Structure 1
Amino acid sequence: MNGERAVIDPLTQASVTIAWIILLNKPFYPLYVWYLAGNGVIASLATLIAAPFYLAIPLIAHRSSLAARVALPVIGTLDTLFETKLFGQGSGTELFFAACIMLAALSFRDQERWWQRGVAVVVFGVFMISRSSAGSPLYHWSDQDLAAFFNLNTFAAASLTTFIALRYAGSRDRGT
């Protein structure tokens, strides 16, 4: 390649787009928390820790499309695990595991089915760990704030999952 950037195929471009959407929304998350719950803003700033990892995905995509497509659901899974530990199971953050499973289902070509299966198993395994051993959250919410936070995360997870489905539509047909 001699330092040239590889052309990104449509399937990998879909993953890059999702990484950018997540990255661009990360700074607004504490604002949503402040607006809806009124507190927890300082704790929600910790969610920005994952931002550099999402930023790495577009950079990785120019070197290895497979690595970028594996990285997105894995980073999303670890981010979801962290946020669940931070805010607790009642916060609704575990719903983002559904988006990670969707990414595992859509990010791979037919000949990459073992990667697809492996990533799906990793996401599910981390989900099971989250469900069985998350322990006490690092930040505690009042019942009223927790309900608002759960609603925020439910809406955000459903929106992200829908965007993933729309963005990946037809990408596998054009990818090589």
Structure 2
Amino acid sequence: MPATGLKRLFAAIGAYAAHPGAREAVANTVALVIVSNQPFYPLYLYWAVSPVIGPSFLTFLSTPLFALVPAVMRRNSKLGRSLMLCAGIGNTLLCRFVFGSASGVEAFLFPCLMLAVLLFRSDERLYAAGFAALGFGAYLLPVDVMGGPLHLYERQEYVALQRLNFLSAASLTVLIGWLFVQRHPDIGRSDETGKGRPT
């Protein structure tokens, strides 16, 4: 793709992720980062864990939800932020079904819990508490309820899969913190009232 085509593509993605609200813009950016990384997950799995990557393709079922976050955010901020968290927690549960709890995929609940706390203002504490409770509930959900996994990996492969999932979840958590602190320093006391922000 020519350089001008790439510039247009990135400009279009940037425009799609843009939002006047700082929290909303963070959620949009995180959602699109996840969308851009999901197609590579089978490759990471192949290189780091095992050539058996078929089960990982089911994780693409959540990709449209993440991709829709900025569009929904423009219509309704709370709904968009809620969709972001539902997609994140739902994708973690889906991966738990696909790979089993031995994969350590529950580590992705940490960035979900972080977003639950950061995406909602002080007058939206009920939403924050509700999604935080949903995240903890997803972790505490009995393994037997989920069924699976779709493929039993070897012990050393599970160790590698745990490492891959931990590094991915940790990187996502760091990205979320960096976006809030560096890219949107205007998230502060003036933002807590929600004045001038879309709902």
Contact 1:8 1:61 in 2 (8 A): no
> Distance in 2 between the 1:123 and 1:130 partners?
14
Q: Which amino acid aligns with 1:73?
A: L
Question: How far is 1:7 from its partner?
Answer: 5.0
Match of 1:138 in 2: 150
Structure 2, unpaired ranges of 5+: 1-15, 195-199
Matches within 5 A, 1:25-64: 25-64=37-76
Question: How far is 1:133 from its partner?
Answer: 3.6
Q: Which amino acid aligns with 2:96?
A: T
> Distance in 2 between the 1:71 and 1:172 partners?
21
Contact 1:15 1:107 in 2 (8 A): yes
Question: How far is 1:130 from its partner?
Answer: 5.0
Contact 2:19 2:25 in 1 (8 A): no
Give the number of equivalent residue pairs.
172
Does residue 172 (structure 1) correspond to residue 184 (structure 2)? The answer is no
User: Helix, strand or coil: the match of 2:57?
Assistant: helix
Matches within 5 A, 1:144-155: 144-155=156-167
Higher mean displacement: 35-44 or 50-59: 35-44
What do residues 68-127 of structure 1 show as CA deviations (whole Å, max 9, x unaligned)?
A: 111111210010001011101111111001111011011001111111111111111122
Aligned partner (choices 68, 88, 91) of residue 76 of structure 1? 88
Aligned partner (choices 117, 121, 130) of residue 105 of structure 1? 117
Match of 1:94 in 2: 106
> CA 1:29 to 1:171, structure 2 compared with 1: closer, same or farther past 3 Å?
farther
Match of 2:9 in 1: none
Question: How far is 1:132 from its partner?
Answer: 6.6
> Distance in 2 between the 1:7 and 1:45 partners?
31
Runs of 4+ in structure 1 deviating by more than 4 angstroms, as ranges, are none
Q: Which amino acid aligns with 2:28?
A: V
TM-score (norm 1): 0.90
> CA 1:111 to 1:118, structure 2 compared with 1: closer, same or farther past 3 Å?
same
Task: Name which one, 1 or 2, has greater alpha-carbon Rg.
Answer: 2
RMSD (Å) for aligned C-alpha atoms: 1.9
What do residues 6-55 of structure 1 show as CA deviations (whole Å, max 9, x unaligned)?
A: 95311100000000111110001000001112323111111111100101
Structure 1, unpaired ranges of 5+: none
TM-score (norm 2): 0.80
Question: How far is 1:134 from its partner?
Answer: 3.5
